[in-house]
């Protein structure tokens, strides 16, 4: 009998916790409009120093090479380290 009461109490607690989590996740309701991010266009793509460096590089290399500004390095090169893809499990 005591085991049954313990099991019922545990089930009740789990249901209450699940209900609280469910209500927290959906507390905004269906009708409430989702929050929108406020994006704003920048006036310049590069800072003044970056633009001066870009102009200097473009002048030095001329039309022999292309200079790309603000490119993330891993976009251009691939670096693999031995054991990089090793997983514990």
CA nearest neighbour of 71 among 89, 50, 86, 87: 50
Domain ranges of the chain: 46-70
Condensed to tens digits (0 to 9), the pLDDT of residues 28-85 reads: 655 556 667 788 888 888 899 999 999 999 999 988 898 888 888 877 787 776 766 6
Higher-scoring residue by pLDDT: 80, 11: 11
The CB density around residue 58, as the number of other CB atoms within 10 Å, is 14
Q: What is residue 25's predicted lDDT score, i.e. its pLDDT?
A: 81
What confidence category does residue 5 fall into, taking pLDDT thresholds of 50, 70 and 90?
confident
Q: What is residue 55's predicted lDDT score, i.e. its pLDDT?
A: 93
Q: What is residue 32's predicted lDDT score, i.e. its pLDDT?
A: 52
Report the C-alpha gap between 58 and 40 in whole angstroms: 29
Q: What is residue 88's predicted lDDT score, i.e. its pLDDT?
A: 66
Q: Look up residue 63 and give its two tokens.
A: 């039309």
């Amino acid at each position: 009998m005591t085991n049954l009461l313990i099991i019922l109490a545990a089930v009740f607690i789990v249901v209450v916790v699940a209900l609280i989590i469910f209500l927290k996740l959906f507390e905004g309701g269906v009708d409430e409009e989702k929050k929108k991010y406020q994006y704003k266009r920048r006036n310049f793509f590069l800072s003044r120093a970056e633009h001066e460096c870009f102009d200097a590089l473009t002048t030095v290399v001329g039309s022999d090479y292309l200079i790309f500004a603000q490119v993330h390095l891993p976009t251009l090169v691939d670096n693999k380290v031995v054991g990089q893809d090793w997983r514990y499990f």
